[in-house]
Structure 1
């Protein structure tokens, strides 16, 4: 199976690999998570809610993935800029309130192109980021494996 389609979009298979890695990391740190994966179109490709994950964090996880893919940057980079007096104050109200500046949304970048993003929510921003990064790393490892040619 391929990891991405052209134009470059994360595949459902790769999204499930990312989600599995997120769930594994979440269990390892003992924090149940909501895990959302979007493709490059910003639409939800895969979602999982672990037992015990905060119900109010469902939309947050989805919106973290949306923001990370749409802005082509981790959600954490905006925190200091969107506070009153910050250079991007009010940005957090854009996109019908979907813009997320809390850490835990990370884009998946393959060959310099954003193909999707992972968003996680329920823990602290650092925990959400750690779990989301596990999902991104799983996709990148999968892409790397697909590119390795067997030696004859």
Structure 2
């Protein structure tokens, strides 16, 4: 349907986040989980990236968050908190778990430098694709801007 302004509208009602979580819990609705990812995915990615400072690790944390939301949807209580806050808590926990595991593993999240010499030049990387990949560069600057005052104050 086209409105007077020329914009397309659909007749599908927009479900609230709480209703989407209820649908996940009751019906195992994958489309509801995908909709939550669409609505909150970039915020969850920003939280994970701010803690991990690694785009791949942030993607893993968001995926772990969505798996955990799928498993724990039935235990979500809308009166106590919003879906966004609940997902943010799950994301922080997933990122902290990754950090904890990285401290225990020899490789960790960040590559170890064995020399002080600058890294050898590499062929240019291909252009990142996808919304999250493009946004990760912007989030790098945001994370740096958030961390820099802490570094300067210590």
Q: Under a length normalisation based on structure 2, what TM-score does the superposition of the two structures give? A: 0.27
| Higher relative helix content | 2
| Higher relative strand content | 1
* Structure showing greater Rg: 2
Q: Which has the higher contact order (CA 8 A, sep 6+)?
A: 1
